[in-house]
Amino acid sequence: MSDRLSNLRRLEAESIHIIREVAAEFRNPVMLYSIGKDSSVMLHLAMKAFYPSKPPFPLMHVDTGWKFREMISFRDETVKRLGLDLIIHSNPEGLAQGINPFDHGSSVHTHVMKTEALKQALTKYGFDAAFGGARRDEEKSRAKERVFSFRTASHTWDPKNQRPELWNLYNARVAKGESIRAFPLSNWTELDIWQYILAENIPMVPLYYAAPRPVVERDGMLIMVDDDRMKIRPGETVEEKMVRFRTLGCYPLTGAIESDAATLPAILREMLIARTSERSGRLIDHDDAASMEKKKREGYF
């Protein structure tokens, strides 16, 4: 058994293999960098994959204009520290129309400033492969996603036309205009990600750690007042609370959780306790206030 790679080392090697395979087989790949924990792990793996060379592809951030300020500064520090090329793309039409999450709602904002913006950028730069940090354990529908996920020339995914994927042999053939989304973290779970961050000491956006932050309770979520574009509605009060974020995105759309976990071990402890409670195997009473509290802490809204 001692000859066998540990879970984390096996995942790491598999991801590096995938990243190198994309770099070797595609003409013009790009790594989508969303600044979050999964992106940070993926970027770390890319740095390892080509060391002592730099990754032979640029990073790209699709900026909706509403990311947390700390994300943007972390992004800029990271590319500077690593000496990488970063492409920043925002949807110019969306910007011109002033699309924003407050006035247009999350689905319009996300569609115009994220989905459409990404397609624009992929077309504009002619990328034939784009790395993403998605994992199969995120939700049921992703459980069957390929490592190399084929996209048509119009960037659409045809679920009936996915290629069988065997061994570690990835089919990288695409016709002109077609592309592949490559997911090197497919087989990682959320716990694997956090364990790897701890083991490798990977820098993270401070927003993942608990700190006193100004928040407003809105539609059942704790929304951080990150800049003065956020208008406080009548009846709302800005409170300073110890909060952290389990996922990062546009600040008006991302709920904080109340937490004291200001260090990585503390975050892991919180996660493990959440799982431990499930270990008891009790059936949960849905009206139980403690249960709701726990759900809040886990960010399930």
Partner 1 sequence: MDFTDHLASEEVVLDYIRAQQNKDQLRFLTCGSVDDGKSTLIGRLLYDTKLIFEDQLAALERDSRRHGTVGEDIDLALLVDGLEAEREQGITIDVAYRFFATDKRKFIVADTPGHEQYTRNMATGASTADLAVLLVDARHGLMTQTRRHAFIASLLGIRHIVLAVNKIDLVDFSQERFDEIERDFAALGGNFRFETVVAVPMSARYGDNVTSRSGRMPWYQGPTLLEHLETVDVGEKETAAEFRFPVQWVNRPNLDFRGYSGTLASGLVTVGSNVTVAASGKSSTVTRIVNGFSDVDSAKAGEAVTLVLRDEIDISRGDVLSRSDERPAVADSLSAHVIWMADAALLPGRSYLLKIGTRTVTATLTALAHKINVNTFEEAPAETLALNEIALAEFSLSAPIALDPYRANRTTGSFILIDRMSNATVGAGMVVKAERRASNIHWQALDVDKEARAESLRQKPAVLWFTGLSGSGKSTIASIVEKKLHLEGRHTYVLDGDNIRHGLNKDLGFSDADRVENIRRVAEVSRLFVDAGLIVLVSFISPFRTERQMARELLGEGEFVEIFVDTPIDECRKRDPKGLYAKADAGQIANFTGIDSPYEAPETPELQVATVGRDPEAAAEDVLNHLRRAGIIAANGYVFGGEGI
- Touching partner 1, residues 172-191 (CB under 8 A): 173-175, 186-187, 189, 191
Contact flag: residue 275 with partner 1 (CB under 8 A): yes
Within positions 24 to 83, which residues make up the interface with partner 1, using CB under 8 A?
Answer: 24, 47-54
**Pattern 1-30, partner 1, x by CB under 8 A:** x-xxxxxxxxxxxx-xx--xx-xx------
Concatenated DSSP letters of 16-30? HHHHHHHHHH-SSEE
Token duo for residue 65: 């204009």
Q: Which stretch binds partner 1 (CB under 8 A): 69-77, 84-92, 100-108, 288-296?
A: 288-296
Helix (H, G, I), strand (E, B) or coil at 167: coil
Site membership for partner 1, residue 195 (CB under 8 A): yes
- The reply to whether 281 sits near partner 1 by the rule CB under 8 A is yes
Query: Considering the rule CB under 8 A, would residue 90 count as an interface residue with partner 1?
Result: no
Distances (CA, A) of 249 to 18, 54, 91, 101: 26, 27, 16, 12
Helix (H) or strand (E) holding 290: helix 289-297
Rounded CA-CA distance 57/201 in Å is: 24
List 242's β-bridge partners, or say none: 212
Q: Are 184 and 42 in contact (CB under 8 A)?
A: yes
Which residue lies nearer to partner 1 by CB, 198 or 232?
198
Determine the interface stretch with partner 1 among 74-82, 213-221, 250-258, 291-299 (rule: CB under 8 A).
291-299
Whichever of 61 and 146 has its CB closer to partner 1, that residue is: 146
- DSSP class of residue 89? E
For partner 1, the binding residues in 227-266 under the rule CB under 8 A are: 263, 265-266
Question: Which of 153, 198, 211, 238 is close enough to bind partner 1 by CB under 8 A?
Answer: 198
Residue 160 contacts partner 1 per CB under 8 A = yes
> Does residue 138 interact with partner 1 by CB under 8 A?
no
The amino acid present at 231, given as its one-letter code, is K
Q: Does residue 151 contact residue 157 with C-beta atoms inside 8 Å? A: yes
Q: Under a CB-based contact definition with an 8 Å cutoff, are residues 244 and 259 in contact?
A: yes
